[in-house]
Amino acid sequence: MTTETTVPARVDVVVVGAGVAGAIATRELVEAGFSVVCLEQGDWTPRSEFTGATKDWELAAQRNWHPNPNVRGMTADYPIDVSESDVNPLMYAGVGGSSILYGAHWVRSLPSDFRVRTLDGVADDWPLTYEDLQPYYERMDEQMGVSGLGDDPTYPETAAPPLPPLPIGRIGIRAAKGMDALGWHWWPAPNAIASRASRGREACVRRGTCQTGCPEGAKSSTDITHWPEAIARGAVLVTGARVSEVTVDDRGLATGATWLDREGVRQHTRADVVILAANGVGTPRLMLMSSSQRFPDGLANSSGLVGRRLMMHPYAAVNGVYDEDLESWLGPAGQSIVSAQFYETDASRGFVRGAKWQVMPSGGPLGNRSGYGGRAVAGGTDELAGWGADFHAQSRRAFGRSFEWGIIAEDLPDEGNRVVLSDSLLDSSGLPAPKIVYRSSENTRKLLEFHRDRAREAHLAAGAIETFDTPLMRDCGWHLLGTARMGTDPADSVVDQYGRSHDVPNLYLMDGSTFVTSSGMNPTATIAALALRSVEHLIAGRRSQVVPA
Amino acid sequence: MNPIQIGLMDPAHVSEQLSDEEREAYAMLADELIPAAEGMPAASEVDVHRRWIDQALRLRPDLRLHLKVAIAAVGTGDSPRQVAIGLAKEQPEIFAALGQLTAGAYYMDDRVRDAMGYPGQEARRLVDDTDEYLEMLGRVVERGPVFREIPR
């Protein structure tokens, strides 16, 4: 795929970030006749680089394909100071953004997620409703080619996913039997993974390596689903372009973006409108880096909320071991089945809000060891527990015979949890790295404890002979949310419901940073639906859009 | 902290390749971690020390120094088991790297995979398994919505 040819010096819109939201926005804009430059700090990732079909897979997943940029340490990644965080943020820098490595769990938020203040007296309501977003969810299901089964009672009536469901496999059947015995909700999981060839994607082959990149091109990452068409229609995608500042004029309007090319040469692209789609860490980082005389506390930050209210979805899991071969290395991974049984608030539990559950495979033998390794089968306590004869006994007992009920805890906003600029750590371009200050709350701890107990019951009801808890994973910060929240009042929000800055009317944010609350669902479907809604609003209002001279 | 920082090894003397002596010393350590048992071969029986460890280090070059430190501890008079226990107790980072590389290398061998019944992350033809669960799913539908209605 070729990208940049000559980068025009001035365009209608400059988009920062070629991930999910940046791709959706760019494609809509070029279809509507706008000239667009998208600046992406990473590169294209050829499918041939993914190691899932080789023996390299599991060891490569621990380093070059690890979702934590601090582990990966690639030039395109910026380092992140996590010395004051319970959770490591995870992301990928490149065309397609984190959709290159995500699990493609394509689920929507629920109606209650947009009304948590009204219903539960905590956090804030969103300035829009589920019903406002539902048509955009449905259209994004089509654009991303989601596989799944309709009529899930988790949601109000809506269109079924466009592609048939992927197999839930032996792990899904086993898990479903447990939920059935308990009378709990479960459903075959929706995934943005093709169950048959569709819109430039091949059919899934259940390789199970989705989270290190799909070698088949069956997973919907926007380098496949959106960028080829956007570029064909005239979008200019510049890779290796690290944006250092959004520039402004005397009127406080955004005038474009300053960026460093691969050689470190400073460039500037002038634009009438600037869209930031750099994720919930990258977007506030750039806004804070874009301080100026007019915006001394960071761009569009009169509320003081840029970078604050970071939510990252603390994640716990309960793994169950069974006495039958479940082929639990098989994909999709991806999710097999999901449950919203304990999603909504029940005050008797001693906490508010809830969590989504999903069954996922347990990976290859090395990944399996990370779940069960180091535990002596015979109950020994010596330093070599999990090694020696135990190494094999453990493998025989758990490998291929275990799966995970994963728990995504709704993370409530707290202004103390935030993204700031590091005063000591720099990226490879010499720009300040982000620093994360993040502590999970008492509500989260109670929530996860309750859910782990229920997930253990689900495993036991399904016939598990043994269970293992992971109370809180450190490498779980896939979902970077809330750091420039939307709202109606400029005093307590950064953007309006369409992602437009209250302070800078030609600056738009289209990523997880605009979330008011996190929901307990994987957020990519919501990020995508919001991006589509926002960009259509921008296009519809083009004649009244304020732009710099 | 890496092995250089903790003063265990002079980086000037860390070669890229493992020497024959290092491989033999590593074999003893690897077999302590992964012996022949439960019908599975020992690490050295499948050439972890001569073949697969090189593949593992290609993928995890960041752990090369850790492995060298672990190997250097063999031959100090302690048995391989005593060395492994000592590393686990006193240098857990070195021990973790040793374990990660050795297990990763071991699982690359086809004899090991065959014995485990693991075909690797192979491609499978998609099958429709909805018939296996539709009856159960019917009961989920009968129980009705799980989302909370929003008061208007």
Task: Give DSSP secondary structure letters for A242-282.
Answer: EEEEEEE-TTS-EEEEEEE-TT--EEEEEEEEEEE-SHHHH
- The answer to whether A469 and A452 have CB atoms below 8 angstroms apart is yes
Contact yes or no for A320/A467 (Cβ under 8 A): yes
Residues of B in contact with A180 (CB under 8 A): 136, 139-140
**Would residue B135 count as lying in a domain?**
no
Question: What does pTM read for this prediction?
Answer: 0.96
**Neighbour tally for A419: CB within 10 Å:** 29
pLDDT average, residue stretch A275-303: 98
- Rg of chain B on CA atoms, in Å: 24
Nearest Cβ partner for A366 among B38, B62, B107: B107
Digit-coded pLDDT (tens) for A335-345 = 999 999 999 99
pLDDT at A130 over 80: yes
Nearest to B130 among A165, A204, A208 (CB): A165
Distances (CA, A) of A268 to A246, A435, A510: 10, 26, 21
Cβ contact A271:A256 at 8 Å: yes
Counted across chains A and B, CB pairs separated by less than 8 A come out at: 177
The whole-number pLDDT of residue B7 equals 46
Structure confidence at residue A2 as a pLDDT band (50, 70, 90):
very low
Is B42 part of a structural domain of the chain?
Answer: yes
Cα B139–chain centre separation: 43
Test B123 with A396 for CB contact under 8 angstroms: no
- pLDDT higher than threshold 80 for residue A127: yes
Is B6 domain-assigned?
A: no
* Partner residues linked to A40 by β-bridges: A239
d(CA A27, CA A510): 14
Confidence of residue A10 (pLDDT cuts 50, 70, 90): very high
Indicate yes or no: CB of A183 within 8 angstroms of CB of B143. Answer: yes
Q: What is the CA radius of gyration of chain A?
A: 23
SS3 B146: coil
- Cα A210 from Cα A50, distance rounded (Å): 10
* Interface test mutation site (partner A, options B28, B146, B152, max chain A beta carbons within 10 A): B146
- The whole-number pLDDT of residue B104 equals 97
- 10 Å Cβ neighbour count for A460? 16
What integer pLDDT is reported at residue B152 of this predicted model?
A: 78
pLDDT digits (tens, 9 = 90+) for A423-468: 999 999 999 999 999 999 999 999 999 999 999 999 999 999 999 9
Q: Report how many domains make up chain B.
A: 1
The tens digit of pLDDT for each residue in A17-33 reads 999 999 999 999 999 99
Q: Which of A156, A172, A392 sits opposite B147 (nearest CB)?
A: A156
Rounded Cα gap, residues A384 and A375, in angstroms:
9
> What are the structure tokens assigned to A65, written together?
């394909």
Q: Which residues of B touch A334 (CB under 8 A)?
A: none
Inter-chain touch B120–A365, beta carbons under 8 Å: no
Question: Region A130-158: what's the mean pLDDT?
Answer: 98
- Whole-angstrom distance, CA of residue B56 vs CA of residue B42: 17
Neighbours of A33 (CB within 10 A): 11
What would the mean pLDDT of A478-495 be, rounded to a whole number?
98
Q: What is the pLDDT of residue A243?
A: 98
* Structural domain includes residue B150: no
Whether A547 shows a pLDDT value over 90: the answer reads: yes
Spell out which residues of chain A touch residue B108, defining contact as CB-CB under 8 Å.
Answer: 55
C-alpha to C-alpha distance for B42 and A389, rounded to whole angstroms: 10
The encoded tokens of residue A346 equal: 């029940």
Centre a 10 Å sphere on the Cβ of residue A266 and count the other Cβ atoms it contains.
Answer: 10
What confidence score (pLDDT) does residue B10 get?
A: 57
| Cα A89-A92-A96 angle, rounded to 5 deg | 135
Q: Give the number of C-alpha atoms closer than 13 A to the C-alpha of residue B93, restricted to the C-beta side.
A: 12
pLDDT for residue A44 is more than 70: yes
| Separation CA A248–CA A245 (nearest Å) | 9
Q: What is the pLDDT of residues A178-233, one digit of tens each?
A: 999 999 999 999 999 999 999 889 999 999 999 999 999 999 999 999 999 999 99
CA A350-A353-A357 angle, to 5 degrees, is 110
A375, pLDDT greater than 70: no
Given this model, what pLDDT does residue B2 score? 43
Number of H helices, E strands in chain B: 7, 0
Query: In sequence order, which residues have a C-beta less than 8 Å from that of residue A376 and are 6 or more positions away?
Result: A382, A385, A386, A390
Is residue B149 a part of any domain in this protein?
no
> Is residue B37 a part of any domain in this protein?
yes
CB-CB neighbours of A26 under 10 Å: 32
The pLDDT of residue A4: 54
pLDDT tens, A404-416? 999 999 999 999 9
- Joined together, the tokens standing for residue A441 give 């709350």
Nearest-Cα distance to chain B for A242, in Å, is 27
- Spell out the residues 6+ positions from residue A511 whose beta carbon is closer than 8 angstroms to its own: A17, A19, A21, A276, A277, A278, A279, A280, A283, A527, A531
CB pair distance less than 8 Å for A400 and B125: no
Q: Which long-range contacts (CB under 8 A, 24 or more apart) does A88-91 make?
A: A88/A474, A88/A475, A88/A476, A88/A477, A89/A281, A89/A312, A89/A436, A89/A477, A89/A480, A90/A475, A90/A476, A90/A477, A90/A478, A91/A67, A91/A279, A91/A281, A91/A282, A91/A478, A91/A480
3-state secondary structure of A236: strand
The answer to the question of residue B32 being in a domain is yes
**B110 vs B122: CA distance, rounded Å:** 13
Q: Give a yes or no: residue B133 inside a domain.
A: no
Residue B16 has pLDDT above 90, yes or no: no
Mean pLDDT of A363-381: 66
- Domain span at residue B31? 11-119
Mean pLDDT, residues A83-98 taken together: 97
- Considering chain A, what is the average pLDDT of its residues? 96
Instruction: Scan for tokens 């700090």, then name that residue.
Output: A41
Q: Which residues in B lie closer than 8 A to residue A56 (C-beta atoms)?
A: 55, 59
pLDDT of residue A372: 56
Query: From A331, which residue of chain B is nearest by alpha-carbon distance?
Result: B121
The answer to whether the Cα torsion of A13, A15, A18, A23 is positive or negative is negative
CA dihedral sign, ordered A110, A111, A114, A117: negative
Count of other CB atoms within 10 angstroms of residue A280: 31
B28-76, pLDDT tens digit by residue?
Answer: 999 999 999 999 999 999 999 999 999 999 999 999 999 999 999 998 8
The Cα–Cα gap between B22 and B9 comes to 14
